[in-house]
Amino acid sequence: MFKHILLATDGSVSAEHAAQKAFQIARIHGGQVTAAFVVDPYPYVGMGSINPIGLDGYRAAAHEAAGRAFSHLGDLAESAGIRLDARLVEESHVVQGILAAADDVAADLIVVGSHGRSGLKRLLAGSVATQVAGLSTRPVLVVR
């Protein structure tokens, strides 16, 4: 049923919990997992012309964080016996990046972790998981 799972990751503990669930589902269904890490390519609009080293530093740090997340997920996938592909997505809106990656790989399921925020923190920070679930045309599993 779920032959290709898109796992949204940001390297957090909640993303790791989501990964464990994605790997479990992939193992049950004989599927594969693609991990997507979304990076905003232009976080400081207008800053690049003022301080190009700042933008280069940001990009280097973002790629390094993605690399660490992918490496850790690769170890988890290997121990679970699951094939894992990694995809760095450059998109200024994380939710759109996740949805586009799911379209690109024709995912049957999107798995995303939730930080479990509630109340004012959720109102102020928003919820990527909630937005993905609300906008996706594919099944979405939100893992806490």
Give me the mean pLDDT over the 118-138 stretch.
Answer: 76
**What pTM value is reported for the model?**
0.88
In this structure, the number of other CB atoms found within 10 A of the CB of residue 15 comes to 24
pLDDT at residue 125 greater than cutoff 50: no
Spatial strand order in the sheet of 109-113: 84-90, 32-39, 4-8, 109-113, 140-143
Count the domains in the chain: 1
Query: What is the residue range of 18's domain?
Result: 4-143
Q: Find the CATH number of the domain harbouring 23.
A: 3.40.50.620
Give the pLDDT of residue 122.
52
Give the pLDDT of residue 124.
46
In this structure, the number of other CB atoms found within 10 A of the CB of residue 79 comes to 9
The pLDDT-based confidence of 127 (bands split at 50, 70, 90) is confident
The whole-chain average pLDDT of the chain stands at 89
* 63 against 49, higher pLDDT: 63
